[in-house]
Amino acid sequence: MQKFLIVDDESVNCRLLKEFLAERACCDIAYSGKDALKLYTTAWETGNDYDLMLLDISMPEMDGLEVLDRIRRSEESRGIKLGTGLPIIILTAVKDSFMSAFKKGAEEYILKPVNRETLIGKIDEQLKKRAQG
């Protein structure tokens, strides 16, 4: 079974996403950017990496764009080229961060509310790209 990290400060969104993905992935949840970075770091340090991250932008303490930037810089420092690291899909209600997210290395940008079929399709697309890469 695949391992995903869901990052959103709204517990309702996390539960819904976890339900959407229950048949295909074991999902960890982080309710803040800081917690997401801790889980991400622990996962790669222990060799138990995530297969994919679903990341909200608007969160307290540290927003999703900062999390994205820190993950991409961490990957770069370990010799992981952009486009070959952790697939990160932005799920947000924020429309105006589209270009910033892609510039920082997001693979997809999906506006909330998210439809299950669209989400699964985008996840499958990203995982297929990584498998071929």
Give the per-residue pLDDT at 61. Answer: 87
Task: Supply the range of the domain harboring residue 106.
Answer: 2-132
Read off the amino acid at residue 50.
Y
Three-state secondary structure of 62-85: CCHHHHHHHHHHHHHHCCCCCCCC
Which tens digit of pLDDT belongs to each residue from 63-100?
A: 999 999 999 999 999 999 999 999 999 999 988 888 99
Give the pLDDT confidence score for residue 98 in this predicted structure. 87
Residue 119 confidence class, pLDDT cut points 50, 70, 90:
very high
pLDDT, position 133: 67
Number of folded domains that form the chain: 1
CATH number of the domain encompassing residue 51: 3.40.50.2300
Per-residue pLDDT of 33-47, as tens digits, reads 999 999 999 999 999
Mean pLDDT, the chain, whole residue set:
95
Give which of 104, 91, 122, 121 is closest to 9, Cα–Cα. 91
